[in-house]
Chains A and B, each alone.
Chain A
Amino acid sequence: MAALLQHPCYEEERLRRVADKLPCREVQAGTLLSVMGGPEQHSFPSIFIYGHRASGKSHVIHMLLRELELPHATVSCVECVSVALLFEQVLLSLFGCDAASLLPRSPSLSDFVRIYRQQCSHSPAVQTRYIVMEKAELLRDMDANLLPALLRLQELVQDNVTVILLSEIVWDKFRPNTGCFEPLQLHFPDYSKGELQQILAQDSHPSYSAELYSSYINILLGVFYSVCRDLRELRHLAALNFSKFCEPLEEGKVKESDTHKLWRNIEPHLKKAMQTVYLREVSRSFLLIAAYLASYNPARTDKRFFVKHHGKVRKTNFLKKHEKTSNHLLGPKPFPLDRLLAIFYSVVDSRVAPTASIFSQISSLVTLQLLAQVGHDDQIDAPKYKCAVSLDFIRAISRTVNFDIVKYLYDFL
């Protein structure tokens, strides 16, 4: 069978290695490669690659650029809060930090093009330079001239450069009013059920046979395929639930070949886990809820609400004296981070998959001013926070995640 990835300018062996790393995406990689052409050739000034999340867009282009050792710069538009970061990143990757440092304080597009052209005259392009922009839909929200200029960057800087835009939004929603240089559009289709099976089955576990894992994936897809076709999410789900799947095997109750029994064991669990998929994304809501509870519940009542099988809490005299003053009248109290996490994990229980991004979610809540950071900046390892939202707001949030927050508030006991 002839290799799908072929090009007269690259050795077959190299391309075969690349193709092995891109399962089920050989056709797209082949098209992309033929459009990119050989290294010294000019390519189309701008290429727009679109397709669903986790359809392999970023993976394929980066694999090609890395393995074929092509000079490139990658910019994630999500991280570029200002255009200056974007320009800096490009100049840094293509020409080095000296070039990036030439940018003035608030660089304009004119400055960027000027410096790029200067750098080009010092080091003209021997090979096509690629600038890959991920989440390109965010470019629409930046300066109006940025997107049209990037599309024709090749012409503006007179260099062998190609700008590749990656997005899940279709091009029709990008086009400026008076038109622009139309990029070449490439579609990365969604993976079919068979392809997902093939790709996911590759992550087999060392202790178990490939057939077992393959049948596990088959069951997983059977449950989740109707709601979720995102490869990344499915991979996460597969990893999360595999140990539960193997439980009966571990306990010696069933053999590997008893697929029916294994299915019976895992299917209800997977159905329940479906909630997990979607609440994973709303862990931020739960984080905010936990913050609210931490701010408005006295610390001593945590045990009552959040520890399972807490037993009875005896009301002491101390409690009775302060019963009248509602915490809601006094305003939010600061709480340390570990208390927040403790309440969070208790509230969330098994409904949310633990991710390392909890901390980034906390900082994003601070940025959105839903949480306020209190205390001195030098208390790095003991930050304290306060919840800055109202009761109505938090009730609304709780409703969206089907959590009855009032049950957990001390003031409403």
Chain B
Amino acid sequence: MFLTQSKSSHLAYITRGSAVLFLQRCIMGAVVTHAVCFRHLLELLRRTAVHGESNSVLIVGPRGAGKTTLLNCALRELLEEKEVKRNLLQVYLNGLLQTDDKIALKEITRQLSLENVVGDKVFGSFAENLAFLLEALKKGDRSSSRPVLFVLDEFDLFAHHRNQTLLYNLLDVSQSAQTPVAVVGLTCRLDVLELLEKRVKSRFSHRQIHLLSGMTFPQYLQRVQTQLRLPDGFPDARFSHEWNGSVQTLCEDKSVEEVLQRHFNSSKDFRSLHMLLMLSVSRVSTANPAIRPADLLEASRMCSADPKANILHGLSILELCLIIAMKHLNDIYDGEPFNLQMVHNEFKKFLQRKSHSIYNFEQPVIMKAFEHLQQLELIRPVDASAAKTQREYQLMRLMLDQSQIMEALQKYPQCPTDVKQWAMSAFG
């Protein structure tokens, strides 16, 4: 009894905050995989925080590569030094939130806790305002200033602001010897430098840290193991041993390896791996106390399902017939746009061949089916100004390809054989 009780609480631990668990592992994983980048970044930040140098750097990498995690790790290690913790000021800006320079400046003022100092002052320019803020950070004896770290998340979005004023001024400050400032930008765009104006680019140090994963499949498998294992300090050693054993068995399973290979081939980033593993772990319960290969398979199936195929499965048979009619029109007219009248016509040709037309619906019913397909965005009007023409004459394009339609027909529940045959015949 005691065992079951504690087991369920352990399982609760496992399913609990898997996101948090994984986040911690992700951090360690990111550091391990990008050890060189980590060292480089840490060194850079230390030069600003401890030695008073100004710097700028861009961390570039695809979504889910671990940019923010890397920065957070470096900062965590940096802030362990008492000097740094005491002196370093941090300002976090995000391109999604601070959508123009005015908002950004307000946010900087707020984060530096200088709202009262600024008060109601009016500044002539952004540069003046920023200079004032940085001046205010100087220590009493004017000998030195506290170092400031500016983190610009979604850096590429700042490049769309008018005149790139914020970027220009921040990078300008990072070049002058006035205040020790570190400007760290994070972006998913590899071409970020192309977005910068010449005067901004010239003030940038051109230092970039690229997080492009060179992970091999064996390393990927190793990551899976480290993510799923319980940490050494887990209170119930016996449970931990059992669990880790099951994880080992899981990773040695052939079908699991195949699934992981498929995922690795489509994407190496940590985030999608995290999602897959989290879905597998969420299936753990008291009745099912270890991750089985079937769990991983099911999680994989969920992750890689074709959403359009799922939607096609739920269409009415009439709507499916209209899609088949559109497919035929595409075949005959080489993908030229069509309208409802043409589709209805094509459908009627099919109905004429049947002895009893149970699908002989009136115009409003066909229209409704057509509209539903449009609402689902399975068909799209060719241009937006089509609103002026009558609905049944608006030209549309089909947003599905041949293979999706044929696959949907195979999976469609109780699809009538004549409909299937019509789909497979060439030229309706």
Interface residues of A (CB under 8 A from B): 2, 6-9, 31, 34-35, 37-38, 40-45, 50-52, 55, 108-110, 113-114, 143, 145, 148-149, 155-156, 168-173, 178-182, 184-187, 189-190, 192-193, 225-229, 274-275, 277-279, 281-282, 396, 399-402
Contacts and interface: CB of A to CB of B under 8 A. Distances in A.
Interface hub of B12, B316, B367, B413 (most chain A Cβ within 10 A): B316
Given A149-B96, A277-B365, 13 more contacts: A2-B287, A42-B19, A108-B103, A143-B99, A149-B97, A156-B94, A178-B188, A184-B275, A186-B302, A227-B317, A227-B361, A399-B390, A400-B392
Contact of A189 (B8, B64, B110, B313): B313
A42 B316 contact: no
B187 to A, nearest CB: 9
A127 to B, nearest CB: 13
19 contacts: A7-B285, A31-B282, A37-B16, A41-B16, A41-B19, A42-B17, A110-B107, A156-B97, A169-B377, A170-B307, A170-B308, A172-B307, A180-B63, A181-B271, A184-B275, A193-B414, A226-B359, A228-B316, A275-B365
A190 B358 CA distance: 23
B316 A227 contact: yes
Interface string B198-215: 000000000000000000
A1 B361 CA distance: 44
Given A180-B63, A275-B364, A402-B363, A229 B314 contact: yes
Interface of B: 8-9, 11-12, 15-20, 62-64, 68, 94-99, 103, 107, 110, 156-157, 188-189, 271-272, 275, 278-279, 282-283, 285-287, 302-303, 305, 307-308, 310-311, 313-318, 358-359, 361-365, 367-369, 375-377, 390-392, 413-414
Contacts of B316: 225-229
Contacts of A187: 302, 305, 307, 310
B364 A279 contact: yes
Contacts of A190: 313-314
Contacts of B107: 110, 114
Secondary structure type dominating chain B contacts: helix
A400 B391 contact: yes
Contacts of B317: 225-227
Contacts of A8: 8-9, 11-12, 15, 285-286
Nearest to A180: B63
Interface hub of A35, A109, A179, A226 (most chain B Cβ within 10 A): A226
Nearest to B321: A226
A281 B361 CA distance: 17
Contacts of A226: 316-318, 358-359
A226 B364 CA distance: 15
A109 B12 CA distance: 36
B285 A6 contact: yes
Nearest to A9: B12
A64 B16 CA distance: 18
B188 A168 contact: no
A179 B190 CA distance: 13
A40 B15 CA distance: 12
A110 B19 contact: no
Given A35-B282, A50-B307, A187-B307, A227 B390 contact: no
A148 B307 contact: no
Contacts of A45: 19
A114 B94 CA distance: 12
A98 B402 CA distance: 55
Contacts of A149: 96-97
Nearest to B23: A42
Given A8-B12, A178-B189, A227-B365, A400 B390 contact: yes
B83 to A, nearest CB: 26
A34 B15 contact: yes
Nearest to A185: B307
> 7 shortest A-B CB distances, which residue pairs?
A190-B314, A170-B307, A34-B282, A278-B368, A8-B12, A41-B17, A149-B96
B314 A55 contact: yes
Contacts of B302: 185-187
A315 B372 CA distance: 48
Interface hub of B279, B305, B358 (most chain A Cβ within 10 A): B279
A145 B161 CA distance: 13
B336 to A, nearest CB: 23
Interface hub of B96, B156, B368 (most chain A Cβ within 10 A): B96
Given A44-B278, A50-B307, A275 B390 contact: no
A38 B15 contact: yes
B314 A145 contact: no
A55 B307 CA distance: 15
A402 to B, nearest CB: 7
B314 A52 contact: yes
Contacts of A51: 310-311, 314
Given A44-B278, A226-B318, A6 B18 contact: no
Contacts of B413: 192-193
A108 B99 CA distance: 9
B279 to A, nearest CB: 7
B283 A34 contact: yes
Interface hub of B64, B107, B363, B364 (most chain A Cβ within 10 A): B364
A308 to B, nearest CB: 23
A156 B391 CA distance: 43
Nearest to A109: B97
Contacts of B283: 34
Contacts of A399: 390
Contacts of B9: 8
Contact of B307 (A42, A171, A179): A171
A113 B98 CA distance: 10
Given A148-B96, A187-B310, A110 B103 contact: yes
Contact of A44 (B19, B96, B369): B19
A42 B68 CA distance: 19
Given A187-B307, A189-B314, A182 B271 contact: yes
Contacts of A31: 282
A162 B335 CA distance: 42
B308 A110 contact: no
A6 B287 contact: yes
B316 to A, nearest CB: 5
Interface hub of A8, A35, A38, A184 (most chain B Cβ within 10 A): A8
A185 B299 CA distance: 11
Contact of A37 (B15, B358, B414): B15
B192 to A, nearest CB: 11
Given A9-B12, A178-B188, A227 B94 contact: no
Contacts of A34: 15, 282-283, 285
A37 B12 CA distance: 9
Contacts of B359: 226
B98 A110 contact: yes
Contacts of B318: 226-227
Contacts of B18: 37, 41
A42 B22 CA distance: 11
A189 B412 CA distance: 12
A227 B317 CA distance: 6
A168 B11 CA distance: 34
Contacts of A189: 310, 313-314
